[in-house]
């Protein structure tokens, strides 16, 4: 549902195919709930954001608890999913693990142009339709959010720690 995770839709099949070509077997151990603070602001349940990290860690841990895996691949983006998955990975630290990000969201409307439209709206020089059009153009692609927030810093941290391939 979330644009940050949309690229992951086809990843399980791709991972299974790559493992099969290498002589291995890959299975989906489980899925975890994902929420976006930007989407849930002002909505019922927005206060579950931080709590969701524990739920994610537990869900991933339960998926790995069958003692059937030789390694784990974690698919996740954002400041709740990545820490939750990292907790699960550390709990099962005997399994080699790699984290795969969804890649960067394609750029939308540049920040300075978006800020200009917001300023014009605040001054009453453009209407709500123009403001909503600019906001819609700002985040129009799948992948990790374009602003330098916790989603991107989590991705960089995973790379620095060696859990992502360089440049991921």
User: Do 5 and 77 contact (CB within 8 A), yes or no?
Assistant: yes
The pLDDT assigned to 106 comes to 75
Q: Is residue 166 part of a domain?
A: no
Residues 101 and 112 both lie in one domain: no
Instruction: Kindly state whether residues 70 and 18 are assigned to the same domain.
Output: yes
Q: What is the pLDDT of residue 145?
A: 72
The count of domains in the chain is: 2
Neighbouring C-alpha atoms within 13 Å toward the C-beta of 27: 8
Q: What is the extent of the structural domain holding 32? A: 6-105+147-161
User: CATH code at 22?
Assistant: 3.40.50
Q: How many helices (H) and strands (E) does the chain have?
A: 7, 2
Do 12 and 59 reside in the same domain of the chain? Answer: yes
**167: in domain:** no
DSSP labels for 27-91?
----------HHHHTTSTTGGGHHHHHHHHHHHHHHHHTTS--S-EEEE--STTHHHHHHHHHHH
- List the chain residues with pLDDT less than 70: 1, 139-140, 146-149
In a domain, 153, yes or no: yes
Residues 47 and 115 in one domain: no
- Residues 25 and 88 occupy one common structural domain: yes
| Token pair recorded at residue 81 | 């999913």
Residue 111 is assigned to a structural domain of this protein: yes
Q: How many Å apart are CA 34 and CA 80, to the nearest integer?
A: 8
Q: Is 100 helix (H, G, I), strand (E, B) or coil?
A: strand
Task: Tell me whether residue 48 is in a domain.
Answer: yes
Are residues 155 and 101 part of one domain?
Answer: yes
C-alpha pair distances (Å), 63 with each of 21, 53, 92, 128: 24, 15, 11, 46
Domain identity same for 47 and 123: no
Q: What is the pLDDT of residues 54-97, one digit of tens each?
A: 999 999 999 999 899 999 999 988 888 889 999 999 999 999 99
pLDDT of res. 153: 81
């Amino acid at each position: 549902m979330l644009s940050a995770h949309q690229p992951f839709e086809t990843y399980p099949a791709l991972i299974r195919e790559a493992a099969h070509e290498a002589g291995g077997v890959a299975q989906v151990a489980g899925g975890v709930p994902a929420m976006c603070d930007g989407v849930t602001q002002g909505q019922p349940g927005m206060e579950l954001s931080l709590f969701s990290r524990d739920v994610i860690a537990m869900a991933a841990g339960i998926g790995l608890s069958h003692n059937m895996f030789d390694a784990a691949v974690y698919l996740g983006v954002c400041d709740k999913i990545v820490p939750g998955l990292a907790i699960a990975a550390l709990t099962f630290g005997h399994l080699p693990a790699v984290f795969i990000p969804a890649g960067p969201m394609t750029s939308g409307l540049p920040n300075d142009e978006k800020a200009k439209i917001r300023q014009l709206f605040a001054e009453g020089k453009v209407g709500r339709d123009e403001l909503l059009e600019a906001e819609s153009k700002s985040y129009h692609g799948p992948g990790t959010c374009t602003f330098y927030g916790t989603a991107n810093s989590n991705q960089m941290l995973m790379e620095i720690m060696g859990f992502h391939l360089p440049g991921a």
